[in-house]
């Protein structure tokens, strides 16, 4: 039977024409169900994409936090080697080999940090900069031009990109005017 042309098979009679609307309704129902399923799948895919993005952010943040702990330990090792290198007994003329070994270790630590994008803070000015430095203490100065200048670096500071991992610990000069009264 060719229902589209309105021809009815003699054997089926009127039964074929009454089934056509039922089949059309079923096809419409199926089309609606497919459209709903496709929309549901698209929403599910978006939800999964968002979930994967959040998981990546969490994973990266987790890794960075763990790496920060390692960086902190490396910076502590750097401080210890640097303090040993500055000791008087190591600076004695007979300890050339010890100085060379400690200097080499210090360079290696800096190289490891550098390969991870961590560099010592190097400011182009001796004026105290609170973005990169923390004042451990202040010392009095009689010269107003020296007010706010760093007189000594106690501990080196380090940055990773634009993030300060550890501020430079410094001593800052403070001008003491006899007429000025600090409250």
Run of H or E residues at 108: helix 96-115
Which residues lie below 8 Å from residue 152, measured CB to CB, with a gap of 6+? 170, 171
Percent of the chain with pLDDT over 70: 86
CB-CB neighbours of 12 under 10 Å: 13
**What domains appear along the chain, each with residue ranges and CATH number?**
1-116 (no CATH), 120-183 (2.30.22.10)
pLDDT of the residue at 140: 93
Predicted confidence band of residue 119 (pLDDT cuts 50, 70, 90): very high
State pLDDT tens for residues 5-32: 555 455 555 555 556 778 889 999 999 9
3-state secondary structure of 183: coil
Mean of the per-residue pLDDT values for the chain? Answer: 86
Entry pTM:
0.62
pLDDT at 130 over 80: yes
3-state secondary structure of 155: strand
Run of H or E residues at 153: strand 150-155
Run of H or E residues at 62: helix 14-86
Mode of pairing for the β-strands spanning 150-155 and 158-160? unpaired
Token couple for 132: 């990169």
């Amino acid at each position: 039977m060719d229902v589209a042309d309105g021809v009815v098979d003699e054997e089926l009679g009127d039964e074929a024409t009454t089934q056509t609307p039922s089949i059309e309704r079923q096809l419409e129902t199926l089309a609606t169900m497919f459209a709903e399923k496709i929309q549901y799948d698209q929403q599910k895919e978006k939800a999964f994409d968002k979930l994967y993005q959040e998981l990546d952010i969490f994973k990266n943040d987790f890794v960075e936090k763990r790496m920060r702990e390692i960086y902190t330990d490396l910076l502590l090792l750097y401080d210890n080697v640097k303090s040993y290198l500055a000791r008087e007994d190591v600076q004695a003329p007979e300890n050339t080999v010890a100085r060379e070994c400690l200097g080499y270790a210090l360079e290696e630590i800096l190289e490891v940090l550098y390969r991870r994008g961590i560099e010592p803070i190097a400011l182009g000015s001796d004026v105290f900069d609170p973005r990169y430095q923390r004042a451990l203490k202040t010392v009095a100065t009689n010269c107003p031009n020296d007010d706010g200048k760093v007189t000594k670096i106690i501990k080196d500071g380090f940055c990773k990109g634009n993030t300060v991992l550890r501020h430079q610990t410094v001593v800052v000069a403070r001008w003491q005017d006899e007429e000025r009264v600090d409250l």
